[in-house]
Structure 1
């Protein structure tokens, strides 16, 4: 097994009925040796509140979010929250940012999904100014804050990770952020996209080795490997069909255009069984990691072997139940590998 990489964990917080339950699960992850624990934000628990609770109730594990967007919160507000959490976490926070998607921005927040990459770039620059202790006066195309400064001890070092898929977004990450959190890439696809990250770093005269790339790999490790693979097929079919155009396009561009079209056509026609069956075996050994514990750990090692990949961020496949999630977490836990 590859030994010189870290394993992070992404929680599905909608599975828990209380913040206490999320905190207890994170404490278990800390005991199992995971480097960071992160979670997405949709319409459930507020990210900043949850980050605060997890930082307060853990000692060594890092905390992260997947991801806060500069449409739903202003950059100065994000900076204030991140600096506050980092002060409590003692340096264990990595702030996750992303553009989100048209469906969420326009549907949930009633905003226009306008120039998302420009908005993200400006947000990163403003957050870095604010957490460095500077008075923020910024004349951007999107944001024009003036006179904002944090009334707390500064500077506060808050590494910023960006969730991006396309070449322009990843290049932007290399120019302005501190880390990259990709998902739904095969090892080969990840290797190719890392070239965009390096190009962005070079444009900004930055060292690509200073970035932290943690690839999110949805996983299911069960002794019944066929059961795990079927759950993986269901998850991939859902992602292709309903999770937004960016993910679907990313999968297609990695050599699965015909499969993506077939899966989505069946799903939209109401035949989910055919849609799930159309997910190819090769996808279960690349885009996700589903099978027996040994098979899943082998796939994780393949990602870890990609030059420039520093960590694998293990997440769950949606259809898995609580026992299957526990089985997966224990199978991939650093203390058990």
Structure 2
């Protein structure tokens, strides 16, 4: 391992109800444990530095040979060897709009990567009239990308450099989910409810970029690639143990949401929310629930500012099947225990290591977490030791 300095043996505080901090809003949850679930038992974790010298790392993907691909928001894709050695930037990466929240964002490999070398990237793309979220498909050959082409380009262009969403999740059945944001401004946020645009949506495509004919808006009014809508800024996405999509989205002041998006469903933004605007005014209707709009599985007030997420399938028995969520503000790794579509407990870990942008579960049960800073790091987290 390139750097293996011991950093901390970190316990979390146990209490009857998890301490989320002072609320921004006084909404009543729609059901038990929709927020502030019981605190899970403390976990001790050992944290070491796996790799450093990165500039705002954003996404990570494990490769079959034991190395990892990591994106830097400035536009570089790098390989990290199994010993933590960092490669030079790879060639062939699309040109990105690296302004404010924009840049090179997520990376994921196709299920058949060992045979095809196919991977997916999401990024902020400059176009005539502004900027958009885009997703590209490419083939990795050594340390360069070939056959690079966009399979998704958001429309219309935005005039802000914020709320790109931008996770990409290939599925074993040959589909790809892509998440987007609504680009933040009052005018743009209304488009999350407009199914003729791809602002504030989850997108579902075939692996080659075609549209699956069982998508909910095929043959109806709306963009054929849309899976679900009414989202704010979806920066976490993963497949659950049953192969279905789970997402995390940023709320405003309060109202970060865990969702389990279903085909054609409306998730409410900006009409309903469990948060308030940054100036304290109500969001949309001022309500947290409305007929025809879905409730989040779980929400946070105040926010955790979610990044990437992963279900734990490693060797540490006490975490088996739990959901791990990266958090940027104030910085933490959140662990949720679920029974079906309901949260039964929460734990906060790594509350003193900085802005955690993504999390990857390793075959040996450890985790890699990305610290979004310049210089940034990849930390290795060993639970139960």
TM-score (ref. length: structure 2): 0.28
Higher helix share: 1
TM-score (ref. length: structure 1): 0.30
